[in-house]
Amino acid sequence: MPPIPYNEALDRVRRSFPGHEVTVCDGDHGQESGVVEAPDGTTVASFRLTIREPRAAPPIVNKVRIGGVGQYCGTSDEIRAWTQAHSDPLYLDYNATTPLDPRVLEVMLPWFLTPSNAGSRTHSYGQKSKEAVENARRQVADMLGAQPEEVFFTSGATESNNLAILGLAEHGERTGRKHIISTAIEHKAVLEPLERMTQLGFAVDLAPVTSGGYVEPATIQRLLRPDTLLVSVMHANNETGILQPVEEIATLLRGSDTLFHTDAAQTFGKEVEALKRLKADMVSVSSHKIYGPQGIGALLVRRRGSQKRPVQPLQFGGGQERGLRPGTVPVALAVGLGEATRLAALEWPTRRTAALRLREQLLRDLARVDHHINGDPARCQPHVLNVSFPGLDSEAFMMSTKNLIAVSNGSACTSASYKPSHVLTAMGLDDGRIDSAIRISFGPDAKLRLVRFRSALNIILALNPLVASE
């Protein structure tokens, strides 16, 4: 057979099995193997492409071999890869939510199965529940370099953000400080409470960001006014993974009456040393970003000497959490957050190293196709990649690869709206780059099944052959 381009070789297999699904499973520099499936999902044959020039764009195929029904042309490793490739899609959306760590579930289970209410102090069940909640509070406080009494449990970072911002309305009215600074790339859990503050008569400035996806401290400094009540800047952006200069901003505000809040949903348990150093007045955290349960988070409200706590409750009834956040604390969830925090404190260095290795592999795989990394790579968290593929529609890509990989093209809270990313827009990217952007965020299990990511890249080439790298 004369040498033919890669896509032509695949077309030859497809023509041999009209109406069937042809899927590449795995390969190396010298070959790729795959299977042919009937519409009902039955595997009817397999094939192998012998690649003479793997570095060509597209690769040049020297031989196409098709096996009969029940035969598989690949090696045992490729058969194993095929089995993995036909399980659930490879999950690459850890910034939306992480899976629950089985070790966390194990410590939570007893609290689901026994009466537990930390507010019931008249019997041993309540006393044990309170001890468990306070232990979890200490674990969160230790991670933040704070005191346990400064940590208030909430339902998650969204509620924490609302409490940190809207809870200052009364303090702002009383002190005459009615100006707030934030950034144009904040999560909607910050931007929408800020909109509400404008309705209450507060002035809000949203600082622009650079094309690298971060705000300059000097920009914040220029926006400061004598009546600035609050500066709220996220620690890392949820769409791009770009770390913001929160330590520099905290230094700018040191000694002033302006409060500093950071949404640390994406960095709690990951940027451990930086968060311990950070002297923010308020920090929002969430459990389900660090392999803990959904439905629990916390707000750190740091003391300023003997000053009265400026944040006021948004709800009333019961007086739990020292009157700031009423409602029965879910003991099992609090224990889960505490255990997830404890494990993160022990394992974050190895998790970071693993993420860096996996990132390097993903970048090597991405070299097969034309792409742009969105955001300054030097400031990006190791487990996040926001990538644009020129000429490719991200929605079409996600639909075409939904059985292979689970990714997103924006925040999980706004992905149903199909609006252009306000984050990438604020970075000044053009419409084409925004429309073709995909967020890839991963955890340790992804390294075992990268064959699926490579198969997804093949679909990119099929959707738009023009994105093949030179």
Residues marked active site are found at: 413
CB 456 within 8 A of CB 404: yes
What's the CA gap between 200 and 165, in Å, rounded? 12
What's the CA gap between 88 and 468, in Å, rounded? 27
What's the CA gap between 163 and 166, in Å, rounded? 6
Residue 278's φ and ψ, nearest 5 degrees, are: -70, 125
Torsion region of 12: left, alpha or beta (phi above 0 gives left; psi -120 to 50 gives alpha)? alpha
Which residues lie across from 408 on neighbouring strands? Answer: 439
* Chain centre to alpha carbon of residue 284: 15
Other CB atoms within 10 A of residue 117 CB: 16
User: Per the omega criterion (within 30 degrees of 0), is the bond before 420 cis?
Assistant: no
What's the CA gap between 214 and 195, in Å, rounded? 22
Strands 203-207 and 179-183: parallel
What's the CA gap between 109 and 77, in Å, rounded? 38
DSSP string of 309-344? P----SS-SS-TGGGTS-S---HHHHHHHHHHHHHH
DSSP state at residue 391: T
DSSP E strand stretches across 264-316: 282-286, 297-301
What's the CA gap between 421 and 239, in Å, rounded? 9
What's the CA gap between 267 and 294, in Å, rounded? 16
Q: Give, to the nearest 10 degrees, the angle between helix 102-112 and helix 331-366.
A: 160
What's the CA gap between 226 and 2, in Å, rounded? 76
CB 259 within 8 A of CB 310: yes
* CA distances from residue 67 to 21, 34, 70, 73 in whole angstroms, order as listed: 15, 10, 8, 6
